Structure 1
Amino acid sequence: MATTTAPAANSPAAPTPTDTPSRGIAAIALVVVLGSIMSVLDVTVVNVALNHLAQDFDAPLATIQWVATGYTLALATVIPTAAWAMGRFGTKRLYMFSIATFAAGSILAGLAWSAESLIVFRVLQGLGGGLIMPVGMTILARASDPSRMGRTMAILGIPVLIGPLAGPILGGWLVDDVSWRWIFFINVPIGAIALGLAAKVFPRDTAQPTRPLDVPGLLMLSPGLALLIYGLATGGEKGDFGAAGALVPAVLGALLVIGFVARALRVEHALIDLRLFRNRAFVAAAGTMFLFVCAYFGSMMLAPLYYQLVRGESATASGMLGAPQALATALAMQVASRLSDRIAPGRIVLIGIAVGASGFLAFTTQVAADTPYWVLMACMSVTGVGVGMTLMPTTASALRTMSHEQVAVAGTTLTIIQQVSAAIGGALMSVLLAGSMRDGLPAGQGAGGLGELHTLSPDVVVAVGPALADAFQGTYWWAVTLMGLALLPALLMSRRQPTGAVGE
């Protein structure tokens, strides 16, 4: 395993962990959580409103889908610049800029007068939102002692859990009883509070442009990620990766990413330092995260569809049915992340994946048109415990081995891996579900995919319910398999008690 260098004693970029009192770390964590909640909650809230937006703007759903897709592509474009920008402008200023940009985009989105203007303003939101998580992670990780990295990651896990839990419920209420514009305006007071607190409590840092911006690398990686994610999303939407509109951008994106990797291995100051992958702990964490996120977040779109299409529930009710799982994940994440400061993360993550896959397997075997809800929620609560034991301890395991200077690059790289794996998982599950529906449903009664299913009468949908449930079950089996495969890279994670960053 490659070793990392200890941070320079006189580095002005940020205070060392011991320079920041625990009370100061708590204040920093509060600001980071506020900003992250704003960006994570926004995604789930907007997804609930897409159908209403299509009606209000009298636009086809394919156009309105760009309200979500444009935001995601903006994230993919800006995230690769995060590590360089933190050195060039300083973490505090960059974080405040990203919050301000996101809030400004939210105001403009709430004032949108057409579908096209809303899409443009959502892209602006994404340019700010893409920096919030990696910059916030870097600020908090640098302020924290490596021996307490698990507790730090537990804090960062709070927004990830609040979004899926509260987003559908909050979004449904705002759209149904207030106005869709408030799904964007609600970000403004949160952003204002986060901005004011960041100015007051974040440690002062200075710009440290130690390396030039890798412009050729940026021109390959950012468009490459955007094209890859767009192609995957389009393939998932159409239920066919072979369609020209999905295959061509996906292949072009993959070629650009491969070109970036080939070049980054040769140049001195690459946009993303791939020497991180010489570190066994980082490679193990990255591989575990890729497979686990692909399985879990990719399958998250299946449960709401199952409850709504097979069981006839509303969007809000579907969100409520997922609440026990989110709560189980939240509790397990807080406990497991803190334990990872005293117990080797590799041991916790292995148990977490095994528990998560077991709950997922039990849920999959029980998926049917008439399964009692308490059975399904119990199974997914077990999965939630496994998720909580896996995600943040995996991240903590990777960052704990990084030097002060490497944290920004490592956090950026992990964020890219999460975005790409979630996109791959979502697209894969969509295509697999479409294939299962084609094979298991009668022609003219859902075999054409979700679009055809939406045109059928409620009586016909009820009649094909058992076959439709089988299609969902068949898709879930693939997600269970992917989650189980995450055990392989997890076996490479250290099972020795953590001792802090290498080189300290």
Structure 2
Amino acid sequence: MTESSIGEAQRSAITFALILATILSTVASTIANVVLPQIRASTGAAQDEISWVLTSFILAGAVVTPALGWLEQKFGRRHLLLASIVGFTVSGMLCGLATGIVELVLFRLAQGAFGAVFIPMSQAILLDINPPQRHGQAMALWGIGAVLGPIIGPVLGGWLAENLTWRWVFFINVPLATVAFFMVAAALPKHEEVEIHKFDAFGFGALAVGLIGLQLMLDRGPRQEWFASSEIWIEFGLGLLGFYLFFVHTFTARKAIFDRQIWVDRNFLTASIMIFFIGMLMFAGMAVLPTLLQSLLGYPVLHSGVVQLPRGVGTLLSMVLVGRLHGRIDQRLIVLAGLALTGWSYAEMSRFSLQMDEGLVLISGLLQGLGLGLIFVPMSALAFTTIAPQLRTQAASLFTLVRNVGSSIGISFVGALQIYNTKIVQSQLVEHVTPDNPIAAGAVDFASVRALAAMMQAIARQAAMVAYIDAFHLLFWMCVALAPLVLLMRTKRIVV
């Protein structure tokens, strides 16, 4: 399928269908964030378990991404996209019907696996059906679809949870998916026979074991007291073994799932390291913020979604700005500006308190959106500047994989850190609330059970806020540490 084999009307129909599929994926990855407290209450999930609703979706996408090239060869883009839309919709409905956290996580895994097809496949198809001089315009249109998810997701999720139930954040996919299915079926041409290369099952399996072992360790660690538990040691061992076998196989096998030349490209390697941590910056703060707003500050679910809207608006504005600056300014400077804005946003978030108004949430969200938008597009361009054209498809899959892994690990790590720090701070605060402390004795009636319960609740809220602030401090210093890596990248394109 090339730009010369389809007409303008068909090209427009395909573009609209692919943008819709992209919106499905990005909304699904963000819409559940704002309703995590409601899901936790409904399913009886523990605090350390509720993040699985987010990490399972991202992890499944990360595991499936390396196999997309072979799946495309085997089934064709049209059939693969149609099957993915159906699977994504059915698994999403099952998420809405789930009664327990285990069921919900299993169905989110399935939804993430099917949804992993949408973004890389949409990009590849749009580049194929448009001539080179229109690639920028095509990617700009696609980028709007990708950015709409973070804008729509929190607000839509909050509205659905407040007016219906949290289950509708999953049911809402059905009408959009139905339209996307019929448009893809009508617009995309049928499968053309291509040579099918042998699938690197060993490399794929080793990578999957490594990713799953690492994610399970991070998700289960807080509940199992980390390495005091034999379960964590087993998961840690599986993760190490999987990654060891994957890298040894990659650098010794005749035909690995990712070409060895990709790993030694300085630009790509540096950009991949950065996108791993940028994935953390993108999702870790966004994952914990709804719980902070609703549980500690008492925001209604819809209002907590609305105050996160500036983050998506900022991303959209900065992506438009990046398009205008393309070719006029060194992309490394744009990335540095984005890191500065993102760091500024987390510095502002570290000023959160139980007495603050929503102004600080709005300002920090806008700054963060502006920063991440300035980082993402130039970083993606720099990653592929020196990659040989024949390796770009593999490199794109690996780049997406690294970003997804960073996002998933970031959510788990920050969630675990928040739980751990809350316990430490709460213990330290309780030590000072004793009858022989004049300040405590003057403020609390130690003879009243009700007064003691209220005191312990206030201490728990203060401890949780301090733990959130510590997490935001960490993310701020991560932005600072990433800045020097930008200078290692080159801007000169490879000669084709």
Letter in 2 for 1:482: M
Per the TM alignment, residue 311 of structure 1 is displaced from its structure 2 partner at its CA by: 2.2
Corresponding residue number in structure 2 for 1:5: none
Work out which of the residue numbers 426, 434, 447 in structure 1 matches 2:419: 434
Distance (Å, rounded) in 2 between the aligned partners of 1:21 and 1:277 = 39
| 1:462-501 matched pairs, under 5 angstroms | 462=458, 465-495=461-491
Distance (Å, rounded) in 2 between the aligned partners of 1:115 and 1:469 = 26
- Asked if 1:208 is matched to 2:204, the reply is no
- Asked if 1:314 is matched to 2:339, the reply is no
Corresponding residue number in structure 1 for 2:346: 360
C-alpha offsets along residues 76-99 of structure 1, whole Å, 9 cap, x if unaligned?
432221122223333333222212
TM-score, normalised relative to structure 1:
0.81
Unaligned runs of 5+ in 2: 433-451
Q: Given that residues 79 and 416 in structure 1 are in contact (C-alpha distance below 8 angstroms), is that contact kept between their aligned partners in structure 2?
A: yes
The sequence identity of aligned pairs, in percent, is 26
Q: 1:262 to 1:446 in 2, by over 3 A?
A: farther
Distance (Å, rounded) in 2 between the aligned partners of 1:306 and 1:110 = 24
Distance (Å, rounded) in 2 between the aligned partners of 1:146 and 1:488 = 33
Distance (Å, rounded) in 1 between the aligned partners of 2:328 and 2:191 = 31
Work out which of the residue numbers 250, 254, 257 in structure 1 matches 2:243: 257
Corresponding residue number in structure 2 for 1:136: 122
| 1:5-404 matched pairs, under 5 angstroms | 14-15=1-2, 27-49=13-35, 52-53=38-39, 68=54, 70-110=56-96, 118-143=104-129, 151-202=137-188, 206-235=192-221, 240=226, 243-340=229-326, 342-364=328-350, 366-399=351-384, 402=387
Give 3-state SS (helix, strand or coil) of 2:476's partner. Answer: helix
Q: 1:467 to 1:225 in 2, by over 3 A?
A: closer
Work out which of the residue numbers 392, 399, 404 in structure 2 matches 1:407: 392
Letter in 2 for 1:294: M
Q: Given that residues 286 and 414 in structure 1 are in contact (C-alpha distance below 8 angstroms), is that contact kept between their aligned partners in structure 2?
A: yes
Per the TM alignment, residue 74 of structure 1 is displaced from its structure 2 partner at its CA by: 3.2
Q: Given that residues 40 and 50 in structure 2 are in contact (C-alpha distance below 8 angstroms), is that contact kept between their aligned partners in structure 1?
A: yes
Letter in 1 for 2:414: M
Q: Given that residues 200 and 255 in structure 2 are in contact (C-alpha distance below 8 angstroms), is that contact kept between their aligned partners in structure 1?
A: yes
Distance (Å, rounded) in 2 between the aligned partners of 1:383 and 1:65 = 21
Per the TM alignment, residue 420 of structure 1 is displaced from its structure 2 partner at its CA by: 0.9
Larger displacement relative to structure 2 (107-116 or 315-324): 107-116
Q: Given that residues 224 and 252 in structure 1 are in contact (C-alpha distance below 8 angstroms), is that contact kept between their aligned partners in structure 2?
A: yes
Q: Given that residues 17 and 180 in structure 2 are in contact (C-alpha distance below 8 angstroms), is that contact kept between their aligned partners in structure 1?
A: yes
Per the TM alignment, residue 317 of structure 1 is displaced from its structure 2 partner at its CA by: 2.3
Q: 1:113 to 1:295 in 2, by over 3 A?
A: closer
Unaligned runs of 5+ in 1: 1-13, 448-455
Larger radius of gyration, structure 1 or 2?
A: 2
Distance (Å, rounded) in 1 between the aligned partners of 2:431 and 2:475 = 22
Letter in 2 for 1:429: V
Letter in 2 for 1:352: G
Letter in 1 for 2:405: V
Per the TM alignment, residue 403 of structure 1 is displaced from its structure 2 partner at its CA by: 5.5
Distance (Å, rounded) in 1 between the aligned partners of 2:305 and 2:431 = 24
Distance (Å, rounded) in 1 between the aligned partners of 2:104 and 2:361 = 37
TM-score, normalised relative to structure 2:
0.83
Give 3-state SS (helix, strand or coil) of 1:213's partner. Answer: coil
Letter in 1 for 2:73: G
Larger displacement relative to structure 2 (381-390 or 430-439): 430-439
Q: Given that residues 340 and 371 in structure 2 are in contact (C-alpha distance below 8 angstroms), is that contact kept between their aligned partners in structure 1?
A: yes
Letter in 1 for 2:395: A
Letter in 2 for 1:170: L
Over the aligned positions, Cα root-mean-square deviation in angstroms equals 3.5
- Report the number of matched residues: 477
